Structure 1
Amino acid sequence: MMRTRPLKVALLGCGVVGSEVARIMTTHADDLTARIGAPVELAGVAVRRPSKVREGIDPALITTDATALLKRGDIDIAIEVIGGIEPARTLITTAFENGISVVSANKALLAQDGAALHAAAGAAGLDLYYEAAVAGAIPLVRPMRESLAGDKINRVMGIVNGTTNFILDKMDSTGAGYQEALDEATALGYAEADPTADVEGYDAAAKAAILAGIAFHTRVRLDDVYREGMTEVSAADFASAKRMGCTIKLLAILERAADGESVTARVHPAMIPLTHPLASVREAYNAVFVEAEAAGRLMFYGPGAGGSPTASAVLGDLVAVCRNKLAQATGPGESAYTQLPVSPMGDVVTRYHISLDVADKPGVLAQVATTFAEHGVSIDTVRQQGRQDGSGNEASLVVVTHRAPDAALSGTVEALRKLDTVRGVASIMRVEGE
């Protein structure tokens, strides 16, 4: 039986994503009705600049008073695509207080206050869906919290920011420097005028916090995620990576400890072998590996940002929430029963690629090797070459280690910097995906 009274939707925000959501709701209205079992009506659009022309949207729907829109009494679902912490947090809370389920694309807010928002939704018997908050159109959140709900996820590793992947891909494929690749990304619209959130890893860290919470059934906040940006990655790093048969990607890596008693969450640049599937992810695409005990390794790949891909994820959530409304049910909420602690970065064990500028004289290699040994870091390979300036006074020394705790590597680097024969530590990069 088809319900005739429409489910009414309040759209909070009408930028690139919001306007595309409104367009799809209008042009695909009949299909959405058939899939849901009831008509879906865009009942109001809250914006900051009402005078802006929004093609395809009835001007009568536009309002600057989002709170009044949510409180008017006939709204069933709110779609929040404002972004940021406030006023989004207050508006989502207001929606729950007024019996309105929420679909959000707000990764920053969910990473910071996801637990409180889930609690508010649960107390009100309402839905909070957020597929669009991580990896755009890629179905990732729902498979992890529904399809894999009966499995045990041990590791998640992936590329979750398209801007940084575009920049690193250009540096790798063309030999461009960081600034040159960033300028191209900005010109093509992949990078914002202020790219800090992307290139310094804040965007990826927020997504990592959300994914870690889902994967490990524990609460992981943005502050729990170790974050390292990619602005220091150089053409020399890519040259070294190629000599190792690797490339460089900005990765989000979430791991359950071997004993199952803690988890780690981190975002940083890393060298990965060219044979790894993530190495072939080009341009602004995203890809995420999920490793589960029963399911094994699963890869999710696709466009991770942009108006249409993100709107696709929002509309998928809207259909699910509308179906729940009709069934007088709710979907899965927060699962944080394990309450596992998040270990510091110092506990992470991986391999490292360290490039040193050293004095070009006998005994330097032995001195460096002794320093590594004193801190419990085993060396796998060493490559030494004279400086290209031909001065004969300095050499470049590249050390690749076996797996070691991050704390041990940090101690090693600190000791190396104190050696008279070490002129500088040019770069430190982790090696993953082996």
Structure 2
Amino acid sequence: MLDVLRTPFSFRETHMKSRSYLLCALLAVALTSATPAAFAQADTIRAVVAKPLQEAQELVKAKQFAEALVKLNSLDAVPERTPFELFTIDRTRGAAAAGAGDTELTAAAFQRVIDSGRLPAAEQLQLTEGVTANYYNAKNYSQTIVWAQRYLKQDSANEAVQNMLVQSQYLSDNHAAVVATLAPRLLANDQANRATPEIQLQMLADSARKTSDNATYVSTLERLVKTYPKPSYWADLINRIPRQPGFSDRYTLDVLRLQRATGTLANALDYADMAELALQANLPAEAMAVLDEGYAANLLGVGPQAARHTKLRTQARTQAAADQKIMADSEAAAQKSPNGTALVNLGTNYLGQKNTARAIALLDQGIAKGGLKRPDEVTLHLGLALQQSGDKARAASVLKSLQGRHDGSAELARLWTYVP
């Protein structure tokens, strides 16, 4: 399961930046209207309003927000206030309320300002973003969603507002909405050749899992390993392969190979099992390499299974040494064989020794000769060898040929193309 934090650091950082931006912006809004001279001729403010209003604005400037609100509240008793006076009072009241941390008053004041139609479009957007951040700060996620959607209708590219919307949906446990919001955003990012932020992919994957949308869950996990490769994402994807209907046990060693390549062999049992399977497949060099890694990580040679580990290591060393003495003769015999089985077996052995050039040559020869009992398995190993050799283009082509298989080979082939 993905470890998606309910208050991820990246979002706390965005949240604080948004709040700081909001407060600075709203202070600027209030203080740019400090005197009647700043207003258009058609919109004037009477002296009975102008004096306390200017005093309130000075208090906002001095960050004395509570005192500013008291001063502004005194203006509520002024009779027959004009629409422009109300508009200007609300601008200042919104800034003071934001500074005082009064979420509801901030939103109410600025909603009236925005709805007045007196602001330029850019300033309306600025205030809408501010109100969104204001609600998000207060963890009022339902209102954050309302205001974020209102903002995004006018500017769909604002990443900070996008983040506030989708995390509010996620934290409200509205996982269907998270999927509906993020799925088209991923498509838009793909079309713009733009990476989707990791936290958004995490939330999409977790929401897809919680809504039983398996296809979206798996495809999003695959995006995560391609864009933000981490062992936790790899482990989740790889562990799904043996659980799929139709999985063939003959690919168990290949699953462990992929785990090894992605740093997700979890424990001593994984290392020992992989080494034992490699020995059973007559691949002692690969078994030795796996055992050496397990010992270097202090996972093998200790605990109740230490005797098993020692036995495996002795067996692998003995068989690997014997193999080295007969490799040349084995290759000569394989070339004379009527089918390609001996060639591909030898090629797979070279692959375990990290001799990818020789592995590719022998696997190619074995495939060309034909008569293979398990050609899909050989194709997978050829793709693996090409991938490890750095020939990503041919590796992708070879591995793609396994699409449509339901025994585990297709999933393994696809995931290998994501390995750096």
TM-score, normalised relative to structure 1: 0.28
Structure (1 or 2) with the greater helix fraction: 2
Higher RCO, 1 vs 2 (CA within 8 Å, ≥6 residues apart)? 1
TM-score, normalised relative to structure 2: 0.29
Structure (1 or 2) with the greater strand fraction: 1
State which structure, 1 or 2, has the greater radius of gyration over its C-alpha atoms: 2
